[in-house]
Structure 1
């Protein structure tokens, strides 16, 4: 039986000293480059936005594929755009290694003519792939946050690391979007985080649910990460709740995770929950955050995007990864002594990342 220490959030005083972090302050350098692009490591800067016209936008600058990071620097630019008319545009553009640079003192990533730059409060993101081009500014409404040190540690020696910094848990987005030669102004609500690690994700993570959303005065970041079988399928919950821009709850030990209406997705073969629920308990009070799937935005087997040779190698290695993204309402319910005192709903997007084979 694996012990809980083999997969956990690093948050002890020793952990803060190990990673050179201040428990009370997040510094701009934490959003700068945290790896040296060496084989075995990976890193990405992520941005998403729910636009006022109903569109959903995702932009990711990656120094390499996190599933197989043993290669050297092999940068990728990803743009996903879900439009109100039902169209989904997905772009994944590989660029040469010499097109990549990333500062270490703050977020300033160049990928050819594309750039992701900011200071933990204000960010400018410009990215173009084929007929899609974006130029947006993200201004934080909620201060940067991390769960503990932001480092999840795995293995008996706690040397395998996957790190995560929500630099802008929620912010205001403005800018422009060009599609098929037509440029229009866009605005909405956005989010930015930064991830890095030193071990291929399929070696430490079996699956995760991850979501962010806003409903009424509340903003939420929530995740439920399950480690691989050799680590005992240990669960690591992550939870942050802000009200009117102020973080009011982030103790993941108080969170109960639940799922309802589970079915097997026909495309990926993975079990998918139609309802994902996080219940934060504080004495007799509870805050329940539910994400209810109404439609699928992405249903993809990771191996399908590989070359024929790599696809064959993935099958031989029994790699069966999948990525699913969903849309539907987020509902935040506040209960005091069993009585509902607040309930708010709005539109949200969340994901299921599945690196392992489906569990029975």
Structure 2
């Protein structure tokens, strides 16, 4: 199947000629070498690889999701595609795939959730990945012979396209940004700290965007428009050794784009990040002034590996001029994890809040790591 970039991305070609370009080739196996890890931002390279080379305990990935806009029947389909350069010894949640024989360091997971909540995962066990950074954007080609997965980003981070090509799943997810990129504690500028927590980096290229999904899955069309998102994470140590629990999520509530992060390290040190924008203008981008807590069933805090999925989360963000931007994030479909005794759950869901005296409802993707045992 041949993929033709949509017209909205054709501006990539002339821009690339004048922009700073670097290319990294990542093999399918880790190297027995020390890795160089980037922890401070530069003028360019926002979405570029941050770890090179990848060894047995370092990891780097690019994450994309799209969630269906609300329908009259309250249905909600979603797609999540993650491009990994990591092994199970670096990122523990890949252990299940490794046990099934998907051992490539350059692994792509495409997980689709149909409107009724049924979920399926498709794996590209790529033989290598070629990552090209252009100005602040990046593109990646993950090839597994005839099967291919790719992402293509605009140099200014204004748009991304994910392409999938296999016998089981093919098509595209396109996201056009409506919210400025940011780092954990502030805007996308040079000399910013990139650690969301010790040994874990985060760069949020598209906090919110308009998504268009055009996929064929096992011969069936999965097509919808909605809210899109793209970020990347990386680390220089085994993931679980530095994480006790975390709550992360993003969504659209009326005209607002919101991204939240509330993290406890293995030593129970708290790290947070809050982002709020409207009409492409940032209102909040900071590593303070936010609280995320579970509510309803299984509202234990901090969550334990024995804790079941909660009903949802209450999120409160302190505004610069005073006051609180508060909303609830209710879980709807479990779209990854969620098994009893498993330390991770991802949901699609809904946001609900009171804005200027009017109740507003939107859609979201949210997740919980619950690694603590006691």
| TM above 0.5 | yes
For residues 136 and 274 of structure 1, do their structure 2 counterparts lie closer, same or farther at Cα, with a shift above 3 Å needed?
closer
TM-score, structure 2 length as denominator? 0.72
Q: Which residue of 2 aligns with 1:222?
A: 260
Selected match of 2:122 from 91, 115, 119 = 91
Task: Give the total of aligned pairs.
Answer: 303
Q: Contact conserved, 1:34 with 1:104, CA < 8 A, in 2?
A: no
Q: Which residue of 2 aligns with 1:68?
A: 90
Between the aligned partners of 2:334 and 2:219, the Cα distance in structure 1 is: 28
1:141-290 → structure 2 map (5 Å cutoff): 141-148=178-185, 149-154=193-198, 161-183=199-221, 185-228=223-266, 231=267, 233-263=268-298, 269-282=306-319, 285-290=323-328
Between the aligned partners of 2:222 and 2:334, the Cα distance in structure 1 is: 26
In the TM superposition, residue 101 of structure 1 has moved relative to its aligned partner by 1.6
1:2-151 → structure 2 map (5 Å cutoff): 19-21=39-41, 27=44, 29-39=45-55, 40-52=57-69, 54-65=76-87, 68=90, 74-96=105-127, 99-105=128-134, 106-112=137-143, 113-118=148-153, 119=155, 120-148=157-185, 149-151=193-195
Report the RMSD for the aligned CA atoms in angstroms.
2.9
In the TM superposition, residue 169 of structure 1 has moved relative to its aligned partner by 0.7
Between the aligned partners of 2:104 and 2:116, the Cα distance in structure 1 is: 37
Q: Contact conserved, 2:327 with 2:352, CA < 8 A, in 1?
A: yes
Q: Following superposition, which runs of at least 4 residues in structure 1 exceed 6 angstroms of deviation?
A: 70-73
In the TM superposition, residue 259 of structure 1 has moved relative to its aligned partner by 2.7
Between the aligned partners of 2:81 and 2:125, the Cα distance in structure 1 is: 14
Between the aligned partners of 1:147 and 1:285, the Cα distance in structure 2 is: 22
**Structure richer in helix, relative to its length:** 1
Once the two structures are superposed, residues 104-150 of structure 1 have per-residue CA deviations (whole angstroms, 9 ceiling, x without a partner) of 44411110132112131121211235512231322111111112233
For residues 213 and 261 of structure 1, do their structure 2 counterparts lie closer, same or farther at Cα, with a shift above 3 Å needed?
same
Q: Contact conserved, 1:177 with 1:186, CA < 8 A, in 2?
A: no
* 5+ residue gaps, structure 1: 1-17, 155-160, 303-319, 335-339
Q: Residue 247 of structure 1 aligns to a residue in which SS?
A: strand
Structure 1 stretch displaced more, 249-258 or 193-202: 249-258
Q: Which residue of 1 aligns with 2:370?
A: 354
For residues 226 and 177 of structure 1, do their structure 2 counterparts lie closer, same or farther at Cα, with a shift above 3 Å needed?
same
Between the aligned partners of 1:131 and 1:73, the Cα distance in structure 2 is: 19
In the TM superposition, residue 291 of structure 1 has moved relative to its aligned partner by 0.9
TM-score, structure 1 length as denominator? 0.75
